[in-house]
Amino acid sequence: MCRGTLTIVSNKKPLIKPSTAYTCLIFVVLFGLSYLGIYSRLAEVHNEQHWLLDELVHAQASALERLLSRSLSSTYILAQEVRRSNGNFRDFDKFAAEVIKSLGGISNLQLAPNGIVERIYPLAGNEKAIGHKILIDDARSKEAYQAIKKRGLTLAGPFELIQGGIALIGRNPVFLEKDGEEYFWGFTSALIYLDELIAATDLDKLSAKGYQFQLSRIHPDSGDLEIFFGSEVNLLPHSIIKSINVPNNSWNITISRNSEYEFHVNLAIAISFVLAVILALLLNRVFLEPERLRKKVNQQTRALEQLAFHDELTGLANRRFLTEKLEQEILNLKRHGRHLAILYIDLDDFKRINDALGHDMGDVLLKTVADRIRDMVRKSDIVARMGGDEFAVILLDLKGADHARLVAEKIIENVGCPITLGKHEVVIGSTIGITLAPDDSYEIGELFRNADLAMYASKRAGKNHYSFFNTEMQQIVTEHLLMEESLRQAIANNEFYLVYQPIISLDTYQLQKFEALIRWRHPLNGEQSPGDFIGVAEETGLIIPIGYWVLSEVCQFINDRQQKWPEVVPIMINISSAQLKDVNFGHRVEEIINASGVDPKLIELEITESVLMEDIDLALQLINQVKQLGMKICIDDFGAGYSSLTQLKKFPVDTLKIDRDFVRDLDDDPIDRQIVEAITAMVHKLGIIVVAEGIETESQLRFLRQIGCDSGQGFLFSKPLSADDVGRFDYPVSISHTDRKQSL
């Protein structure tokens, strides 16, 4: 049963190329490392800056604390003086001026007996505050009472002053004694303008240097955080806060710095990203280049190996690979006692299909056959194309001869299934020769020879067939070798001679031509007919010198006869394929004809139909060459080959000889009768003369005359005659063949 071949080609590709994956991996590692490196360095710098800022904030907080406590200490000094003067503080202005001058940082000093501002130094600009009743002023009373209650200094503010400006006021309650009883005298106060306090610190300078700061406190009434002073620019992240101890409250100072930390972090990410990309690409190149080169070299090596060990057309192994593999396998055979079989496969008539349909189609056919053969064996077996239309299979681990037989049968059956080539459907036969190892030999050369011999034996047995090698085949080869030697000697010793068989007109029974047929008088084996030696002569190429000898001999014969009978009939000469393949053929024929002086019209060359079809172009070229010399061309054994009548049109043929096999069966086989009739009718249309060969009976003759066959050749008229007998052959023959036969 014929089976199709299904080839599934996998197109699966990896999602990501390994080299891309490597590059990505390198990138991730490098990016991570460089980011970590830069980030840790930045973090270090950041920590350092944080620490410095912390120090700075600490210093500013201490400075403010110090300034405030120094300025507020003035209230103690004043209180001391009030107590010393028992509430009768006369030289307040002079004293206050001294205190302000020596302590600094104080805007004015006040005395508020009973909580009413009575004295202010300096007064200028502060007049409005005189008479201010602190204990009943909602905005001030809370801290004032707190001071009395605490019997200690309180700091009020910052707040807006009645006389304008934002200030802090430190109030110290003064208690005096009268009659052994302590009573509240009033307050000694020191007013400090906030901006003057700030001006006494470095905060403004820091602000100019890119620092931001804020002073805040918890508002005594609302309990909310109140920012009471700050730089123009708001605080930035990563600020540092420190508390400042002030009487009855706590302030906070917060400082931040224009830090480019965020920017640097982003820059670090960007730089490490770019660096990582560049490095990854570089490393990819550096590390993967050798790998890439190695792959390329491997690829090219594989491609070269493919070229060196594989057949380009079919993808099968080639002869070289097969031979090397066989060498190894033969060693295995010896070691492990295994068996193998070599099958030589030759396609039948491949050349004919190749010539007829063109080389492209021939290639498709070879590929199809290659696939089919491959399908018939196990994966472990080896299938090779040995060249042209020859294939070989090595069956490894052979179970026995039957295994090889089975495979051969399957190959013949499968290869023989119809193959579609374009618009045509062709069927190709295959012939197989099988040899077994080690049964037949251990030696590769011998095994190949055996397989070849077996294949040729199969061909001789009728193609589309398989044969196992046997020693008889060797015998045949030996005989062939002996025959070759004898043939060489035969040429040298002039052992060949020609006989001539008449060709008679079936219409007039007149002699038309003779066919020259070779004979060999073997010194030991006696008379040899062409069937015994032409094959060997063709295989060995000896047919080429023999063929030129035949032509010369025929020319000689014509010359001899012309001396006796000026009107001689043409002589037909058989030409085999090997002769046509001789590049000098046309030239040599011309030389021989010219040398003999024979009229080329008297010579007609017979070429078998199969020879014609073997290489149509070459045949056509030679035929034209020969025709130009004036010779005629006859197609011999027509019908035995495969050519069609349409192909015949291509050749400028003069005569066509219907194969003897058709004529032989004319009496019994109606199909053969129909074929011969059809051939005759059609060939006549091409203007070609039809000759029937092998006419042996009257009934064959009658039929052939009936269908209008032009001429005949056969034992009915005459067996081939020796050159001497030709002279005695009486012609023209009489009209009645029967009479003629009797006269012979």
Name the site residues for Mg ion (rule: CB under 5 A): 574, 606, 636-637, 693
Q: β-strand 211-218 against 655-658: which pairing, if any?
A: unpaired
User: Could you tell me the smallest distance in angstroms from the CB atom of residue 705 to Mg ion?
Assistant: 20
DSSP three-state, residue 517: strand
Q: Which is nearer to ligand C2E, 452 or 636 (CB)?
A: 636
152 vs 530, beta carbon nearer ligand C2E: 530
The entry of Mg ion, ligand C2E, none near residue 714 (CB within 5 to 8 angstroms by kind) is: ligand C2E
Q: How far is the CB of 638 from Mg ion (least distance, A)?
A: 9
Given a contact cutoff of 8 angstroms between Cβ atoms, the answer to whether 658 and 690 are in contact is yes
Report, in Å, the least distance between residue 520 CB and ligand C2E.
Answer: 10
The listed partner (Mg ion, ligand C2E, none) that binds 247, CB under 5 to 8 Å by sort, is: none
Q: Which is nearer to ligand C2E, 392 or 537 (CB)?
A: 537
In the bound complex, what is the minimum distance in angstroms from residue 598's beta carbon to ligand C2E? 17
Residue 346 binds which of ligand C2E, Mg ion, none (CB < 5-8 A, kind-dependent): none
Whole-angstrom distance, CA of residue 305 vs CA of residue 310: 8
Closer of 158 and 720 to ligand C2E (Cβ): 720
Q: How many residues does the chain have?
A: 744
Cα separations (Å) of 443 from 196, 334, 450, 472, 473? 119, 12, 10, 19, 17
Q: Quick count: other Cβ atoms within 10 Å of Cβ 422?
A: 10
Q: Which SS3 state, helix, strand or coil, does residue 681 take?
A: helix
8 A C-beta contact, residue 664 and residue 632: no
Give 343 or 516: the residue with its C-beta nearer to Mg ion: 516
The least distance separating ligand C2E from the CB of residue 657, rounded to whole angstroms, comes to 7
CB of 631 to ligand C2E, least distance (A): 15
Indicate the residue type of 44: E
Shortest spacing between CB 664 and ligand C2E, in angstroms:
8
Residue 576 binding partner per list Mg ion, ligand C2E, none, with a CB distance cut-off of 5 to 8 Å that depends on partner kind: ligand C2E
Nearer CB in complex with ligand C2E: 447/511: 511
3-state secondary structure 173-226: EEEEEECCEEEEEEEEEEEEEHHHHHHCCCHHHHHHCCEEEEEEEECCCCCCEE
The residues, any chain, with a CB within 8 Å of residue 80's CB and separated by 6 or more, are none
**Least distance CB 532 / ligand C2E (angstroms):** 9
Cβ at position 691, least distance to Mg ion in Å: 9
- Cβ proximity of 529 and 557 under 8 Å: no
Contacts of 84 (CB under 8 A, 6+ apart): none
Q: Where does this chain bind ligand C2E (CB under 6 A)? A: 501, 517-518, 529-531, 534, 543, 547, 550, 574-576, 606, 636-637, 660, 693-696, 713-715, 720
Residue with smaller CB distance to ligand C2E, 65 or 667 = 667
Nearer to ligand C2E, 453 or 517 (CB): 517
Query: Which of the listed partners (ligand C2E, Mg ion, none) does 694 bind, with a CB threshold of 5 to 8 Å by partner kind?
Result: ligand C2E
Residue type, 291: E
- Backbone conformation region of residue 268, classed left if phi is above 0, alpha if psi is from -120 to 50, else beta: alpha
696 binds, among Mg ion, ligand C2E, none (CB under 5 to 8 A by kind): ligand C2E
For ligand C2E, the closer CB: 446 or 539:
539
- Using CA atoms, how far apart are residues 121 and 100, in angstroms rounded to an integer? 9
Question: Which partner from the list ligand C2E, Mg ion, none does 517 bind, CB cut-off 5 to 8 Å by kind?
Answer: ligand C2E
